[in-house]
Structure 1
Amino acid sequence: MLIAVLSGFLLALIAPAVCAVSREWAGWTLALLPAALFAWFASYLPGVMADGAQVITYPWFPALDIQLSFLIDGLSLMFALLISGIGTFILIYAGGYLKGHPDIARFYVVMLAFMASMLGVVLSDNLISLFVFWELTSITSYLLIGFDHEDMNARRSALQGLFVTAAGGLALMAGLVMLGTITGSYALSDVLASETVLSEHPWFTPLLLCVLAGCFTKSAQVPFHFWLPNAMAAPTPVSAFLHSATMVKAGVYLLARLSPAMGDSELWTLLLSLFGGMTMFLGAFMAITHTGAKKLLAYSTIMALGTLVMLIGIGTHYAMVAFATFLIAHSLYKGALFMIAGILDHETGTKDVSEMGGLARLMPITAIFTVVAALSLAAVPPLLGFVGKELMFEAVLGAPVLGGLLIVLAVGAGVGVMVAAGVIAIKPFFGERRETPKHPHEAPVSMLAGPVVLASLSLLFGLALFIPEQALVGPVVTSLGGAADKVHLSLWHGINVPLMLSGLSLVIALAIFAFWSRLQPSLAILREAGGRFGPEAGYFRIMEWLTRIASWQTRVLQNGTMGNYLITLVMTTVLITGYTLLSQHGSTLRVPVPALDSGFAWSIALLMLVSALFASITRSRLGAVASMGVMGFSVALIFILFSAPDLGITQILVETLTVILLVLVLFRLPGFIRLSSPLERGRDIVVAIFAGVLMTLLILAATDLQFFDPISAEQVARSAPDAHGRNIVNVILVDFRALDTLGEIFVLALAAVGVYSMINLRAEDQRS
């Protein structure tokens, strides 16, 4: 399993070489890997159907008890099959769509890494590895959306998607950490099997909000939906894969995965039902306001993502069956339709369906399978999309909260998506023939293979419902806490309320479709108003304010003046550390005053004070260096006074080298100049006093604290028998702290090299 998940990354490393050797067959060659993975994942289905979930574990960080584990059950297998199966056709399709593109090898590298990252998300059992793969999908999708990096729109859209999803990823990281802390395990299987009732924990609300923030941004839920349509700046193979089986469904996957552990909360049910329902309706409405094929399909994807989130929130048995069925149906028809949108763009030279017409005679195969996929999108029998929509209506009718509102939103979404399906299926292929920038003809086999297979599966699964019912939907429902034996898919349940709601949606959709072209000016006004006042406008305002804050910060804090940097760092440390010291330990703080019981000690202290003051006020470079040297040698005297001659000798050596180096450097610099005003010098004095007082208090207070038994007794006891040395300081430096001593030797050697270089440089200058 580890090799299967990481194989995409390994193939990405050699993808350029494969492209160089295979040339126009590179897509077919690279597609062999996801095809093999599809077959390998499918081999797990019988075992999962018979025995349930399996966990495969590999050691990752044994010292931290972190394992790299993979959870194999109905939910993860269904996603893995969709990713690898649709990914096979995406790679083949890309070979035809990007034929002759100079950067096609780079495309395959990132696409394979993207596919592997998504497989890691859906198969990971460890929360840490899941988050790592989660962020990898954000990074690789950023590279794919911005593939055409010379296009400003592509770069802007890629950054927008990255900022939104990465911000949600930070929230998700906090949520996963809280989840692992509450349950005591970072394994998803342990979290789902835990007896801890998450909804009763005081951290549940922040945990829930953090998880929802991560999942909603990833799966484009209101109000974070705006980045997904803009991601259509990516090449069509990216859009097809992104919308059908990969990144945007990552949030949906994680919500479904956590629903058995978190779904018993009323807040979970309310938030997912409400936001999912609003996203469903908004996506369907916005789809009919666009004439661009990819934008239209992008908003219909938002509708589908909202539907899936709403069904997870409802959480009933019908909702889980509808979730699995709708997810499979959407992946099949959306992958086909996006690839068909790319075919239309590739063959006609335009993305606008209102500029197309009469293409069925020139592109009959494309027309047939477009109609089949669009019928599944419109939920018309006997396609699988119809079964998913009927189950969705059934689940909404039994929703525990917001039942009436969800029914209205579901009918409205059904109307919008039927209109969108009619536009994508009828406008380009039927009616009067319209001239397009390019003379259209049937696409090559590499571009038709995916739409033909995926649309055919939509029809096959609708006619032979026992296939998805037993192999996919049943295991998924089981993994979500339901019972597979209660899963029954059927095209006909008699005349009931869901069927009447479908009929009502169809009648309204036909009426809107008849006037769709005439409604475009009004719909365009609504679309533009949403762009000016909607969430995307808020995103741009936030980015503008971030730029302003960054500009202010650069002017004030990062203006190139070293003095300002030092004052900012020192005062920040003083304020934060001083506040913590006084607020946490102010009432119990004891600062012992060391007893200087000899005149020699007082003399050293006085000498250090005088040298520090002289270094601060002198205008002589040599005097400043000499006074700093006096300070260093005074420290060496303190070491010697308190019976640490080894430290004293080391201090003398380091201080001697430092003084020599400073003298050589300072004599090559301009003389001291007063660049500061008296007020600024007064400020610097105050800052220095605060810093000095704080550090003195911290050091004196630290000497009075003893959290653990000192290790000095252990070192004294082991010095002679273990290290064969009676000079304890030497033993500590050479044996107990050998690496630290090695570092100090390296520093001394480096300083000596610097001094030697400066002396030689000065000697050469004098000779010249």
Structure 2
Amino acid sequence: MASVTGLTFLALCLPFLGAMIAPAAVRHLGHNAAWPLALFPALAFLHFAGFLPDIAAGHSVQDGFEWVPSLNLRFSWLLDGLSLTFALLITGIGTLIVLYSGGYLKGHADQGRFFSFIFLFMGSMLGLVVSDSFLTLFVFWELTSITSFLLIGFDHQREAARRAALQALVVTGGGGLLLLAGLLLIWQITGAADMSGLLRAGGALRESPLYLAALILILGGAFTKSAQFPFHFWLPNAMEAPTPVSAYLHSATMVKAGVYLLMRLNPVMGGTMAWEMILPVFGGMTLLVGTLLAIRQTDLKLKLAYTTVSSLGLLVLLTGFGSDDAVEAAVLYLVAHSLFKGALFMVAGIVDHETGTRDITRLGGLRTAMPLTFAAALAAAISMGGLPPAFGFLAKEEIAAALAQASPWPIVLTIVAIAGSALMFAVAFAVALKPFIGARVETPRHPHEAPPLLWLGPVVLAILGLAAAMVSGFWHAYVSSPMASAVSGKGMEISISLVPHFGMPLALSALTVLIGVLVYWKLDSARFLMAVVLRKLGPGPDHGFDAFISGLVRLSHAVSRFLQPGRLEIYVTVTFLCLAAMLLVPPVLYGELPAIPSRPNMQWHEAAIFLIAVIGLAAVVTARDRLTAIVSLGIQGFAVAVIFLLFGAPDLSFTQFMVETLSVVILALVMTRLRLSTADHRPPLQMLSHAALAIACGLGFGLLLLKATQEPFDLTLTAFFSHYSKLIAHGANVVNVIIVDFRGTDTLGEIAVVTITGLAILALIRIRAGGERKLAANDPDVEEAMEVERP
């Protein structure tokens, strides 16, 4: 078992190791580095594929390492049908993406940096889907946001790329904070700090009065990550990333993280009215919005990006529908989507790479120049359109079977699913046929078939989309059924195959295809109609995001101007106001004022020391210039030092003497070196308010000390330090031992503060002296005046 644990941990680390090696590999091997670099995800894929027989047999693998046992925190992973399928998609498609990137970015100056980013992204997503503990889940969740930011903004010299990267980070990062709150709330409700423990908790979460709050927080994280309406706008904008990123992002990684989370939590959060209403409503809206916006686009990548939005909406709809058939449909469609969407994005990248454009209106007749690319595109489009003999056909049949029920709500969802699927059919064949058939159109570059590094990925994925359907029994046994079992929380067996099942599902599939063909036939008219509708609707959520960020920036500026006006006097005044309020308000409100003490019976020399302190205070207040006030201020500290000495604390007294002496010297040095006003020119009203504030702070501290001394004295710490000072620290002087050993870090901090203060003052003096020299160099009269002022 230890060897399996170590190998699994190594498999999880392989992408991060690839990120470390990638820059050096590209420097030495150029674009050929893609082949050895692809071994990192390929080896991880092989390792996880080795778990297929055990997972198919109904087992799960849970392992990891203790991190903070006292808090029940572990770095742990859970492999079952759901997480294993995602792990295989991430590493398998990731291998093809690495190879594709080697050809697509051939000769790019920053190819090594790109490979590092893509490996970090891969490792983050892999860690997310196999995480068992909430802690590791959240850490990898946020890492996917950060690494996607780096990838989307890879071409950082373009403003559009920077904006898209920032937008993705803000939206998904904000959702990550909601997810964190949701996970903490679930931890509080169930006491489970990991997914396996939560799954064993049964219905405890659903029965809690805090269930709805936890659900909303979790959905906030999932909906932002998986681009559900109205957060869908960031995903099409992420197309500013290079095409390998788009292909990977949309097929197997980040955008499916939210769907993964919903599927993972379905056994413990599903089955409620809130779950079965919120998910289908938002999923259905996302499905329709995504497909309608896809029809409007002419850019190949944007058309595919919006259909990804719609596909994610369909997956959320199915996950929330609440039936076993819907779970089976969601599982089948997720795998089918990963295969055909990865292939189609890579095809779009090949077309752009070889022709110089992705505009569908400027493409045509590429079939003869790029036959292999055309074949891969057509096979992937067949799966996306839900036609046999592709795996997408099985998914579409199962979707129709799941939703086709004789009650109002399923009928509404069926209509939504048919409309969305039909529009996706039209978009799929628009991408796969329009650029390749018809008359040859002149393009910026002379088209020709792509090199093997580019066409290998789409060809493999397209073939897999066909092979999985043809050997559906084997595929279901090892992939689909275990995954569906994990999503539903009980054993399930999927048996759908390419053999048609005559009935309502097949009729609905035929209707979907018929509508899709009609839309494809009138695609230009549909595009024009959507353009008119969108113009009438006005700005959408993307514009709203810009307005939100702009308003946030203006608000932050206003708040900063109010809270940070740049005047030290205001900062100090507010600080002391808050201090006085904290010291005086709570005792008055809660009746905790101390009892008035009786007149102390002091010796004459003790009274003399206090009298000296009062005289020093009067000298400070009545001083006519600042230097006299600073020197007089030292009288207070020296008086306190003498009091410490009289009451048997010579060490503390010595420290006080040193601090007061140093303070007076530094302040006097500042006064003589800096051109400050020698006298205090505050108006009387301001001096009165500052005096009142000083009295309030002094009164507050006095009352606090009186209250503290009137409470019973706790000798616990005294006994501890007396007992252990010599035993542990080997020092007889308890005070010194406390300062140097027990409070060594605190003392170091105090020394650091004094040092930083001294350095700051030295910097001020040098800046002032440098300014004077520069001014004198430009004006001889200033130099003469400075010579007169110097002592």
Regarding TM over 0.5, the answer is yes
Instruction: Determine if contact 1:612/1:627 at 8 Å carries over to the other structure.
Output: yes
Partner of 1:562: 568
* C-alpha distance after superposition, 1:264-313 (max 9, x if no partner): 33212211121111111211121111111011000100111111111111
Partner of 2:39: 32
Q: Give the Cα separation in 2 of the matches to 1:707 and 1:96.
A: 77
**Superposed, which structure 2 residues align to 1:253-264 within 5 Å?**
253-264=260-271
* C-alpha distance after superposition, 1:111-169 (max 9, x if no partner): 11110011110111111111111111111100100111110101011111111111111
Partner of 1:663: 668
1:536 and 2:546 correspond:
no
Instruction: Determine if contact 2:11/2:43 at 8 Å carries over to the other structure.
Output: no
1:645 and 2:650 correspond:
yes
Q: Give the Cα separation in 2 of the matches to 1:489 and 1:26.
A: 42
Partner of 2:639: 634
Count of aligned pairs? 762
Moved more, 292-301 or 548-557: 548-557
Q: Give the Cα separation in 1 of the matches to 2:426 and 2:244.
A: 24
Identity fraction in percent: 43
SS of the counterpart of 2:392?
Answer: helix
Partner of 1:142: 149
The match for 1:729 among 720, 727, 735 is 735
Partner of 1:60: 67
Moved more, 533-542 or 327-336: 533-542
1:727 and 1:482, CA in 2 relative to 1: closer, same or farther beyond 3 A?
A: closer
Q: Give the Cα separation in 2 of the matches to 1:707 and 1:7.
A: 59
1:212 and 2:216 correspond:
no
Moved more, 486-495 or 241-250: 486-495
Instruction: Determine if contact 2:485/2:492 at 8 Å carries over to the other structure.
Output: no
1:325 and 2:341 correspond:
no
1:761 and 1:287, CA in 2 relative to 1: closer, same or farther beyond 3 A?
A: closer
1:228 and 2:273 correspond:
no
Instruction: Determine if contact 1:145/1:154 at 8 Å carries over to the other structure.
Output: yes
Moved more, 682-691 or 328-337: 682-691
Instruction: Determine if contact 1:660/1:755 at 8 Å carries over to the other structure.
Output: no
Offset at residue 379 of structure 1 (A): 0.8
Partner of 1:390: 397
SS of the counterpart of 1:533?
Answer: coil
Q: Give the Cα separation in 2 of the matches to 1:162 and 1:577.
A: 43
SS of the counterpart of 1:288?
Answer: helix
Offset at residue 86 of structure 1 (A): 0.4
The match for 1:441 among 448, 472, 476 is 448
1:712 and 1:491, CA in 2 relative to 1: closer, same or farther beyond 3 A?
A: same
Partner of 2:556: 550
Partner of 2:600: 597
Q: Give the Cα separation in 1 of the matches to 2:613 and 2:124.
A: 60
Partner of 1:489: 496
Q: Give the Cα separation in 1 of the matches to 2:542 and 2:754.
A: 57
Partner of 1:251: 258
SS of the counterpart of 2:75?
Answer: strand
Q: Give the Cα separation in 2 of the matches to 1:574 and 1:655.
A: 24
Offset at residue 481 of structure 1 (A): 3.7
Partner of 2:196: 189
1:758 and 1:282, CA in 2 relative to 1: closer, same or farther beyond 3 A?
A: closer
Moved more, 15-24 or 566-575: 566-575
Instruction: Determine if contact 1:330/1:377 at 8 Å carries over to the other structure.
Output: yes
Offset at residue 733 of structure 1 (A): 3.6
**Superposed, which structure 2 residues align to 1:293-304 within 5 Å?**
293-304=300-311
SS of the counterpart of 1:358?
Answer: coil
* C-alpha distance after superposition, 1:489-510 (max 9, x if no partner): 2234522222222222222222
1:211 and 1:722, CA in 2 relative to 1: closer, same or farther beyond 3 A?
A: closer
Offset at residue 412 of structure 1 (A): 1.3
**Superposed, which structure 2 residues align to 1:354-753 within 5 Å?**
354-397=361-404, 402-529=409-536, 532-571=538-577, 581=586, 586-593=589-596, 597-599=600-602, 608=613, 611=616, 615=620, 618-672=623-677, 681=687, 684-685=690-691, 687-701=693-707, 710-719=716-725, 727-741=733-747
SS of the counterpart of 2:450?
Answer: coil
Offset at residue 598 of structure 1 (A): 3.9
Instruction: Determine if contact 1:53/1:479 at 8 Å carries over to the other structure.
Output: no
* C-alpha distance after superposition, 1:613-661 (max 9, x if no partner): 7546745232232133123223323433443332122111122122212
Partner of 2:298: 291
Q: Give the Cα separation in 2 of the matches to 1:703 and 1:265.
A: 58
SS of the counterpart of 2:421?
Answer: helix
* C-alpha distance after superposition, 1:539-565 (max 9, x if no partner): 222111111112212332223222233
Instruction: Determine if contact 1:273/1:309 at 8 Å carries over to the other structure.
Output: yes
Q: Give the Cα separation in 2 of the matches to 1:468 and 1:323.
A: 15
1:44 and 2:47 correspond:
no
* C-alpha distance after superposition, 1:383-431 (max 9, x if no partner): 1111112212222235999323212211111121111112112211111
1:704 and 1:524, CA in 2 relative to 1: closer, same or farther beyond 3 A?
A: farther
Instruction: Determine if contact 1:276/1:305 at 8 Å carries over to the other structure.
Output: yes
1:75 and 2:82 correspond:
yes
Offset at residue 2 of structure 1 (A): 2.0
SS of the counterpart of 2:209?
Answer: coil
1:654 and 1:475, CA in 2 relative to 1: closer, same or farther beyond 3 A?
A: same
1:304 and 1:610, CA in 2 relative to 1: closer, same or farther beyond 3 A?
A: farther
Instruction: Determine if contact 1:293/1:341 at 8 Å carries over to the other structure.
Output: yes
TM-score, scaled to structure 2:
0.89
SS of the counterpart of 1:264?
Answer: coil
Instruction: Determine if contact 1:363/1:441 at 8 Å carries over to the other structure.
Output: yes
Q: Give the Cα separation in 1 of the matches to 2:186 and 2:552.
A: 31
1:465 and 1:554, CA in 2 relative to 1: closer, same or farther beyond 3 A?
A: same
Q: Give the Cα separation in 2 of the matches to 1:110 and 1:738.
A: 43
Moved more, 39-48 or 232-241: 39-48
SS of the counterpart of 1:711?
Answer: helix
SS of the counterpart of 1:474?
Answer: helix
Give structure 2 stretches of 5+ with no counterpart: 1-7, 774-786
Q: Give the Cα separation in 1 of the matches to 2:214 and 2:353.
A: 46
Give the partner amino acid of 2:546: F
Give the partner amino acid of 1:548: R
1:653 and 1:186, CA in 2 relative to 1: closer, same or farther beyond 3 A?
A: same
Moved more, 97-106 or 395-404: 395-404
1:378 and 1:576, CA in 2 relative to 1: closer, same or farther beyond 3 A?
A: farther
Give the partner amino acid of 1:652: F
The match for 1:170 among 170, 177, 190 is 177
Q: Give the Cα separation in 2 of the matches to 1:211 and 1:524.
A: 35
Give the partner amino acid of 1:650: T
Instruction: Determine if contact 1:317/1:482 at 8 Å carries over to the other structure.
Output: no
Give the partner amino acid of 1:447: L
1:393 and 1:593, CA in 2 relative to 1: closer, same or farther beyond 3 A?
A: farther
Give structure 1 stretches of 5+ with no counterpart: none
* C-alpha distance after superposition, 1:730-749 (max 9, x if no partner): 44345544554566667778
Q: Give the Cα separation in 1 of the matches to 2:763 and 2:295.
A: 74
Instruction: Determine if contact 1:160/1:227 at 8 Å carries over to the other structure.
Output: yes
Give the partner amino acid of 2:660: E
TM-score, scaled to structure 1:
0.92
Offset at residue 20 of structure 1 (A): 1.1
